[in-house]
Copies of this chain bind each other. A is one copy, B any other.
Amino acid sequence: MVEGSRKMVSLLFVLSLFSALSAAKLSVTPTKGVPWPMPMDYKTTGKQNTVDAASFRFTTRSVECDILLDAYVRYREAIFGRNADRFHAMRQSPKFVQMFSQEGDIGEVSVDVSKPCQGSYPSLESDESYSLSVANGQVMISAQEVWGALWGLETFVQLVYKSDTGEYVVNDTIISDKPRFAHRGLLLDTSRHFLSTRILLRNLDAMAQNKLNVFHWHIVDDQSFPYESMAFPELSNKGSYFPESQVYTPTDVAEVIEFARLRGIRVVAEFDSPGHTQSWGLGQKGFLTECYSGEKPDGSYGPADPTLNTTFPFLKQFFAEVASVFPDQYIHLGGDEVSFTCWQSNPVIKDFMQKMSYGTNYAKLEGYYMQNLLDIINSLKRGYIIWQEVIDNGAKVRPDTVVEVWKGGWEEEMEKVTKQGYKTLLASCWYLNDISYGSDWTTYYTCDPQKFNGTDAQKALVMGGELAMWGEYVDDTNVLSRLWPRASAVAERLWSPKDVNFPLVAQPRLIEQRCRMIRRGIPAEPVTGPGTCPVEYREP
Given contacts A245-B536, A278-B23, A282-B24, is CB(A531)–CB(B193) below 8 Å? yes
Q: Is A93 part of the contact surface with B, judged by Cβ < 8 Å?
A: no
Q: Is A160 part of the contact surface with B, judged by Cβ < 8 Å?
A: no
Name which of A471, A530, A540 has the most chain B CB atoms within 10 A of its CB.
A530
11 A-B pairs (CB sep. < 8 Å): A23-B299, A24-B282, A25-B223, A25-B278, A193-B530, A224-B532, A245-B536, A471-B530, A473-B529, A478-B478, A539-B540
Neighbouring B residues of A476 by C-beta, 8 Å: 523, 536-538
User: Contact at B474–A525, with CB atoms within 8 Å?
Assistant: yes
Q: Is A59 part of the contact surface with B, judged by Cβ < 8 Å?
A: no
User: Contact at B24–A278, with CB atoms within 8 Å?
Assistant: yes
User: Contact at A300–B23, with CB atoms within 8 Å?
Assistant: yes
User: Contact at A527–B473, with CB atoms within 8 Å?
Assistant: yes
CB of A279 to closest CB in B, whole Å: 7
User: Contact at B437–A435, with CB atoms within 8 Å?
Assistant: yes
Q: Is A534 part of the contact surface with B, judged by Cβ < 8 Å?
A: yes
Q: A196-B536, A472-B530, A474-B526 are in contact. List 9 more A-B contacts (CB 8 A).
A: A24-B282, A194-B536, A434-B437, A435-B436, A436-B437, A475-B537, A476-B537, A477-B518, A539-B539
A242: which of B192, B194, B534 is its contact (CB, 8 Å)?
A: B534
CB of A272 to closest CB in B, whole Å: 15
| Chain A binding surface SS class | loop
Q: Is A433 part of the contact surface with B, judged by Cβ < 8 Å?
A: yes
Q: Is A26 part of the contact surface with B, judged by Cβ < 8 Å?
A: yes
Q: Is A222 part of the contact surface with B, judged by Cβ < 8 Å?
A: yes
Q: Which of A157-211 contact B (CB under 8 A)?
A: 191-194, 196
Neighbouring B residues of A536 by C-beta, 8 Å: 194, 196, 245-246, 475-476
Q: Which 6 residue pairs of A and B lie closest in terms of their CB atoms, listed nearest first?
A: A539-B539, A477-B523, A192-B530, A478-B481, A241-B532, A478-B525
